[in-house]
Structure 1
């Protein structure tokens, strides 16, 4: 009888195990894609993969380089959820892990021959033509500014190319990824320091059951130092030290 009960428990556990499917943009060092275009590593990927493995699940992160489309896939139930949602972009139909696994650092960027060499305040860009990326949950200091001429693009890379070509005068985004793109594409862009803002981003989940399990497990991984281990692996710094930014 005991043996039969154990077998039944194992079968039920196996039946409940599944692959959790999330979507995200490629955002280094948090998500990297392989030669086949699949996201297979990165800080956020590795933390979630470990957390879900501990819960008996697998992880698949599909690259969707349109933020609004990615969130729509999770919110309509076509996927289990998505990564990198800010407080501004949260939906009442989704559940959010309480522990942010990354912070979106926002630095102003200008053409490399611009007279601007340092960020002092938002007002120094009054009247500028700025590029914004659709679906991004910008903080109020950026989202509510009425003194810019705004042009929107569906992908951040399009804004960076436009800035390099002087079709816009300002773009504000993550300096880590920007530095890699500037080098890779030989763009004529200058990143200004210090940062304009730094905001936490969150994993959003459709299922309340999965949310509760994953939320608890991620907190455990933070307490055990696993999150710091992953940050050290990719950046050489702890989570806390990495948050100080590249300009300090």
Structure 2
């Protein structure tokens, strides 16, 4: 097959757009921030959009490996994967990983209860002596996890927390605001029956990079440069705006 000079130049240009490819572990079940597509062929949400955009500014192509969050963390800690998202920094994990400086995004960690509850504006202190559901393998703030007066009940998924609230197996559930609200609005069994009654904190999420992987520190540094660039050039705001519009979150 013969290639014209223009065609050959185009191939070289396409090949040189990305000098390197990195594979990042992506949480597979945390819509709308990071979850498997319906056809199970990829990952979608705010996080992969931001991660791709940040790395692309530095000439890095990103491929995602969708995995459950517990495995996401485990593989990074063991050096089997270079990074994972979405992770908040806690006392328990702050020294396990390499962290970039610029947060990926912020998100409320809300307290949910039955809609007939008279509770409002609850804080962690108000959960003492109560049965509170959390999701197994997720990162929660120390203010919640270190309080021995709170009776914690572990659930495999956020959706399981909502089911337990509805069945009165727990008094409260602790779920991030946006995923929890969207799950309630999308399910007629939950809508109008479960509501937000308080806030644990506003959580800050990052990629956690591996200390054991040979490219951990290098990729963390590259990603930080990319995050700063998309914050400066307007890409971050555009991705965030498109995300809110797609999920009906423009009033948040």
Task: Name the TM tier (shorter chain).
Answer: 0.7 to 0.9
Unaligned runs of 5+ in 1: 1-9
What secondary structure sits across from 1:195 in the alignment?
Answer: strand
Q: Deviations over 1:193-216 (max 9, x none)?
A: 553310211111221111111111
Instruction: Give the drift of 1:15.
Output: 9.8
Q: TM-score scaled to structure 1, two decimals? A: 0.80
Between the aligned partners of 1:84 and 1:214, the Cα distance in structure 2 is: 14
More displaced, 139-148 or 195-204?
Answer: 139-148
Indicate how the Cα distance of structure 1 residues 115 and 199 shifts in structure 2: closer, same or farther if over 3 A, else same. Answer: same
The aligned residue for residue 218 of structure 1 is 227
Runs of 4+ aligned residues of structure 1 deviating over 4 Å after TM superposition are 12-16
Q: Count residues in correspondence.
A: 230
Between the aligned partners of 2:148 and 2:239, the Cα distance in structure 1 is: 40
What RMSD in Å do the two structures reach over aligned CA positions? Answer: 2.9
Alignment of 1:167-206 (within 5 A): 167-188=169-190, 189-193=193-197, 195-206=199-210
The aligned residue for residue 10 of structure 2 is none
Instruction: Give the drift of 1:126.
Output: 3.1
Between the aligned partners of 1:58 and 1:38, the Cα distance in structure 2 is: 18
Unaligned runs of 5+ in 2: 1-12, 211-215
Is residue 134–residue 175 contact of structure 2 (8 Å, CA) maintained in 1?
no
Higher strand share: 2
Between the aligned partners of 2:98 and 2:125, the Cα distance in structure 1 is: 36
Between the aligned partners of 2:243 and 2:18, the Cα distance in structure 1 is: 34
What secondary structure sits across from 1:36 in the alignment?
Answer: coil
Q: TM-score scaled to structure 2, two decimals? A: 0.79
Between the aligned partners of 1:126 and 1:92, the Cα distance in structure 2 is: 29
Between the aligned partners of 2:163 and 2:78, the Cα distance in structure 1 is: 32
